[in-house]
A = this chain, B = another copy of it.
Amino acid sequence: MIQVFDDNYFMKQAIAEAEIAMEKDEVPVGAVIVSQQRIIARSHNQTEILKDVTAHAEMIGITSASSYLGAKYLQDCTIYITLEPCVMCAGALRWAQIGKIVYGATDDKAGFTRIGRELLHPKTKLAFGIKHEECSAMMSDFFKKKR
């Protein structure tokens, strides 16, 4: 059986969110949160429009998914993010006890892996590199234009 709703599919949805951010001249990072093969939250970086450093795609996604589920903890959810989460977002994903994190591009400057895997909840699974090139290209294109 062909699995339609796989990691590639959900990362593509996160990329679509990042593209919305890009159109608004925000750093192009997008996320979706998935529960039982359904997207329950879609979000993108909004730090510029909201003038709020906490408005990362992951943070908005967590708030949105928790609101949808009426629950603080997201153990049965997977978050797909176009970019490696920063320390703030890794900390938030730990509090949420997120089931799994899948990210596309790595972030050598601000990514949480600079500090270490221990920032995440011990039960959180981690995967990365899904649509890595596409996610990375979006980021480098954005910052090239900014220069």
Question: Number of A residues contacting the other chain (C-beta, 8 Å)?
Answer: 29
Complex interface residues of chain A between 41 and 87 (CB less than 8 A to chain B): 47-48, 51-55, 59, 62-63, 66-67, 70-73, 86-87
**Interface hits, A99-133 → B, CB 8 Å:** 115, 118-119
Complex Cα distance, B37 from A92, in Å, reads 31
Stoichiometry, as copies per complex, reads 2
Whether a CB of chain B sits under 8 angstroms from the CB of A135 is no
A94 within 8 A of B: yes
A18: B residues at CB distance < 8 A: none
A interface with B by C-beta (< 8 Å): 47-48, 51-55, 59, 62-63, 66-67, 70-73, 86-92, 94-96, 115, 118-119
